[in-house]
Amino acid sequence: MPALVVAGLAAAVLTGGCTADAICGGGNYPVKLADSATGSTCVPDGQDPPAGYVRYPAGKVPKKVGDKWDVYWQTHKLDKLGKEVY
């Protein structure tokens, strides 16, 4: 019986909606440092990006660490206007 309890707790932890791998927490969205392949931060919803940061292009916003767009933006840049530069 104790083994079932431990297994159940482990399953709950693994599937329990943990957001540890989310790029940004709830109520925030990710922005990219202009002219940088690695710089990014999170901004509260409804606020503009801080100076030097731009929004990701629509449809190319990373959601989770290691997802398609997170990996993509590690080797691609956005200019100060938010246009892709390679």
Identify the residue whose tokens are 């990014």.
40
What pLDDT shows up at residue 19? 54
Residue 25 DSSP one-character state: -
Query: From CA 37, how far away is CA 74, in angstroms rounded?
Result: 5
Residue 48: count of CB within 10 angstroms of its CB: 9
- What pLDDT is stored for residue 42 in this prediction? 98
The predicted pLDDT at position 6 comes to 40
Q: Which residues share a beta bridge with 43?
A: 29
For the stretch 3-57, pLDDT in tens is: 443 444 344 444 444 556 999 999 999 999 999 988 999 999 999 999 999 999 9
Does the pLDDT at position 60 exceed 60?
A: yes
pLDDT on residue 28: 98
Q: Is the pTM of the predicted complex or chain greater than 0.95?
A: no
